[in-house]
Amino acid sequence: MRLSTAPSPRGRTAPYNRFGLRKPPITVKCDCGETREVAYGDRWRCETCGRAWNTGQIPPEEYEGLLRRMRRHQLEVLALAALVAAIMVPLIVFVSARFILLVLPLMAVWLIVVLPYWRRRYHRTAREAPRWQLHPE
C-alpha cells in the first residue's frame, strides 16, 4: 500500500490543481490496486476488497510540512503579482497613462511564462511529497 499526493493517473483535474488554498488530497493505493483520493484525516473502505485505510495514521507534522511547501509556492506567485502591480500602478497613475500599454504584454508574459513555470514547480513539489506506509484497519 503506497500513498502519495501525486496527481491521479486518470488525468482527472484534482482540486489542488486549481489556484487556491485547498488542501491537497492524499492518493491512497490499496493493496488490491484500487486508488482513491482521500482528504487528510478521512477513512476510506476499499469497495473491491473491503480493506479500510485511515489517512489519520500519517504524522500530522509530515502532512503539515507538505502543506507548508505548497503554500509557500502560492505565496511566491501572489508576491510576484503584488510586486508587478506595485510597480505598474504608480507608473500609470503618476508618470504616464501610456504605461497602461505595458499591461497587456505583461499579462501575456504572466500567462505564457510565469504561470506555467509556477505550475510545474507546484506539481513537482506535490510529486516529491513523501510516501507513507499505512496499515489496513
Residues that bind Zn ion (CB under 5 A): 30, 32, 34, 46, 48-49, 51
Q: How far is the CB of 53 from Zn ion (least distance, A)?
A: 9
User: In whole angstroms, how close is the CB of 1 to Zn ion at the nearest point?
Assistant: 9
Please give the order of strands across the beta sheet that includes 35-38: 2-4, 26-29, 35-38
Q: Which is nearer to Zn ion, 32 or 101 (CB)?
A: 32
Closest contact distance (angstroms) between CB of 92 and Zn ion is 58
Do 126 and 7 form a contact (C-beta atoms < 8 A)?
Answer: yes
- Whether 36 and 14 have beta carbons less than 8 Å apart is answered as no
Please choose, from the candidates 10, 1, 3, 18, the residue with its C-alpha nearest in 3D space to the C-alpha of residue 123: 18
Residue closer to Zn ion (CB basis): 49 or 81: 49
- CB of residue 32 vs Zn ion: minimum separation in angstroms? 3
Residue with Cβ nearer Zn ion (54 or 125): 54
State the DSSP H helix or E strand holding residue 29, giving kind and residue range, or none if neither: strand 26-29
Q: Which is nearer to Zn ion, 48 or 96 (CB)?
A: 48
Query: DSSP letter at 33?
Result: S
Distance CA 126, CA 70 (A): 7
